[in-house]
Chains A and B, each alone.
Chain A
Amino acid sequence: MKEKVLIANRGEIALRIMNACTDLGLDYVVVYTEEDADSEHVRRSLDHQPHGKRAFRVASYTDPNDILAVADHAECTAIHPGYGFFSEDFRFARRVTVRDRPLTFIGPNWEVIKDLGDKINTKRVANSLSIPTIPGTDGPIYNEMEAEEYAEQLMADQKAQKIKNPSILVKAAAGGGGMGIEEVREVEQFRRVYRQVQNYAKRQFGDGGVLIEQCLRDYNHLEVQLVCSRHGERIHFGTRNCTIQSTGRQKRLEAAPGFDESCFAYVFNAQEVLDRIVDYSLKLAAHVRYDNVGTWEWIITRDGQPYLLEVNTRIQVENDVSARISHIDGQHPNLIREQIRLALGDRIGYSQSGIEFKGSSIEFRIIAEDTHRGFAPWIGTINQFDFPKHDWLAVYTHVPFDRPYVIPSEYDPNLALAIVWGDSMAEAKARGRQLLREITIAGENVAGAPISTNIPYLEAHLDKLLTF
């Protein structure tokens, strides 16, 4: 039976998945909400009628019931969740695959999503495999004595490593998103902070469990791109650097490979560290029998010590950054295509040695926002939208080039992803600058004020942002 994929996402990723399906000769269906009716992924699916109706209006991208109802109605056989929304929702993945009319979930199997979606569990499994994680508890602590002992140990370890200004973080185990995290610099302060966090956790989350870990400052945030199949094959597509994300800002920029000597003088052997984290990532993937694309996130301290942070069990926005430094038979791979193919049961078909890594790539997220006002989202109508064409450039956008577009206020004002690549980081940077200069975006909001985007900001700070 011919496979038919339901694309349960919006924006540029929906378009990328549509293209990937077309490339693979698969039929597909998209869903959209009322607010997105003018979006390119919908227009394209409505305008071209030879395949019959391809776009279905749903109540929300996050309503599994509507999406599955459309999947059944359109006789789909698989669902691609994209990123965000349902991509890391193990319940959705489970429901898709165990329901009476099962569908293929394009992503890892739900058990893996569940196991790796739990940070504490991931840490525990990693530790059992001697994969380094940030020193700290691998489970919630409820006992003050125990916690204090642990805190003292962590401080002592840091002193032994001659770390300047050692400190630890006390976190609410049930928290997240930066809520309920306190830093402790002196052991004498610990008990007070512990009680404070514990009370907060009890009040806020109904569970007084607390996590304690070493506080890291000044580090690099790297990602390892893995691609695995349902047949136990596992390969990697190198590393990326997204340190900018960790400085409390939204991710605007990402580069590959993970380290580049031209950006910073490392005190350690960069390649060796990169190899190590790739090996560790593959080891964990093998242990949990990872079976689709995924990203392993790592923290690398200034002296080159890697720690596993978490695993993203989905295709990431930045997957193409890795693809643009990878070459298979002289071609850049398309990881989304690979993901769909593998989820549908294909074998990888090539080996690690068949992948050649060369050059550097940088991804820019072009967003309608006011960088001077705390990156506040900008809403309005885009009248002109144009990107240059180069053979070192890929642009992914859902904003149409040929007609005005109203940015829907229900979603993030992301406009486009632009990836440039070159033989070296320096060349990629130069091309990036050129690109930013050549983009044309015009528009205005209801008050008549012109559009503001993050392009000037990226231009001005490119070097600084890429200092890692």
Chain B
Amino acid sequence: MNQDIDFDAILSKYRSDPFDYVHIHTRHTGRVRFKVTEGAQVKGAGGEWHHLPGSLLFVLYRERNPKPIYSSTFGEVSALRRELEGNFVEANEKVMTIKHPLTKREIIESILRKVLSNFNAPERAKYFFAMDIQARIDKFGPRAVTIQPGDEVFTMSLMKRDIPVYYSGEPGIIHSIYFKPGISVGHGEPLIGVCPPGRLPFIQKIISRVKAEWE
């Protein structure tokens, strides 16, 4: 791994456009009623346990069930398909975009994604952690779980079959998790970022560097 990463280049890239553009798609069909307008500031879920919903973005009416859709992140509504107002939309239709100012943590995460040794999805499928790995994660947190090549780390759910997936790559701790259980991951998308113990100081260095330079 290249130890002398060009921080300045990476950071200046984030400086020039410190935003993430979050596209909001409809989960299912229904009639849309927008509750925000373009340019509105929205916030994500709040409260100590993330139990307070974020800003109400729109309501999706289906089978006489008005379903409020809340923002999952904070930012500004940068685009909104106003022509859909009051109309029936299909599932997975893009309805708006939220321009989300990246936080320090998110920038660190996205840099780490490039630095950690990622384990990628071997197929387009749904993934779950193997039972004992999940149990360890639940108990101690992911960063306390060390995995070795050959370990059964995932269960791949493919065409109604559960297939074990064995880890290959450098041994290390599970530093970051990029997938959500039960949601399809495309082929080659990273599932987890693994950090070999030897590289931990280097990772720490990146983190403290970003923390120091990003305000």
A residues near B, CB below 8 A? 33-35, 56-59, 63, 65-66, 68-70, 73, 376-377, 379, 409-413, 446
**Contact among A66, A73, A377 with B158 in the assembled complex (CB-CB below 8 Å):** A377
Proximity bits, B87-104, A CB within 8 Å = 1, else 0: 010111100000000000
Question: What residue of chain A has the Cβ atom nearest to residue B163's Cβ?
Answer: A376
**Contact among B29, B124, B125 with A66 in the assembled complex (CB-CB below 8 Å):** B29
Given contacts A59-B27, A59-B28, A377-B158, contact A66 B123 (CB under 8 A): no
Complex Cα spacing A376 to B163, Å: 10
Complex Cα spacing A439 to B159, Å: 25
Complex Cα spacing A409 to B184, Å: 9
Residues of B160-215 at the interface with A, using a CB-CB cut-off of 8 Å, are 160-161, 184, 187-188
Whether A379 pairs with B29 at a CB distance below 8 angstroms is no
Question: Is B136's CB within 8 Å of the partner chain A?
Answer: no
| Residue numbers in A under 8 Å from B65 (CB-CB) | 65
Question: B189: shortest Cβ distance to chain A, in Å?
Answer: 12
Most buried by A among B92, B93, B125: B92
Rank and list the top 4 A-B pairs by shortest CB-CB distance, nearest first. A57-B90, A59-B28, A59-B91, A377-B159
**Contact among A35, A66, A411 with B28 in the assembled complex (CB-CB below 8 Å):** A66
Whether A379 pairs with B27 at a CB distance below 8 angstroms is no
**Contact among A69, A376, A377, A409 with B30 in the assembled complex (CB-CB below 8 Å):** A69
Whether A58 pairs with B91 at a CB distance below 8 angstroms is yes
Provide 26 A-B residue pairs closer than 8 Å at the C-beta atoms, listed in order of the A residue.
A35-B184, A56-B90, A57-B90, A57-B92, A57-B93, A58-B28, A58-B29, A58-B90, A59-B92, A63-B28, A65-B63, A66-B28, A66-B29, A68-B63, A69-B28, A69-B29, A69-B62, A70-B29, A376-B161, A409-B123, A409-B125, A409-B158, A409-B184, A411-B159, A412-B160, A446-B188
Whether B63 pairs with A69 at a CB distance below 8 angstroms is yes
Complex Cα spacing A239 to B34, Å: 56
B residues near A, CB below 8 A? 27-30, 62-63, 65, 88, 90-93, 123-125, 158-161, 184, 187-188
Whether B88 pairs with A446 at a CB distance below 8 angstroms is no
| Residue numbers in A under 8 Å from B91 (CB-CB) | 33-34, 57-59, 66
Question: What residue of chain B has the Cβ atom nearest to residue A63's Cβ?
Answer: B28
With A56-B90, A59-B29, A66-B28 given, can you name 5 additional A-B contacts, CB distance below 8 Å?
A57-B90, A58-B91, A59-B27, A377-B158, A412-B159
Question: A316: shortest Cβ distance to chain B, in Å?
Answer: 20
| Residue numbers in A under 8 Å from B159 (CB-CB) | 377, 379, 409-413
Complex Cα spacing A410 to B160, Å: 8
Complex Cα spacing A59 to B30, Å: 11
Question: B11: shortest Cβ distance to chain A, in Å?
Answer: 35
| Residue numbers in B under 8 Å from A58 (CB-CB) | 28-29, 90-91
Question: What residue of chain B has the Cβ atom nearest to residue A374's Cβ?
Answer: B161
Question: A370: shortest Cβ distance to chain B, in Å?
Answer: 12
| Residue numbers in B under 8 Å from A35 (CB-CB) | 184
Question: B6: shortest Cβ distance to chain A, in Å?
Answer: 32
| Residue numbers in A under 8 Å from B161 (CB-CB) | 376-377
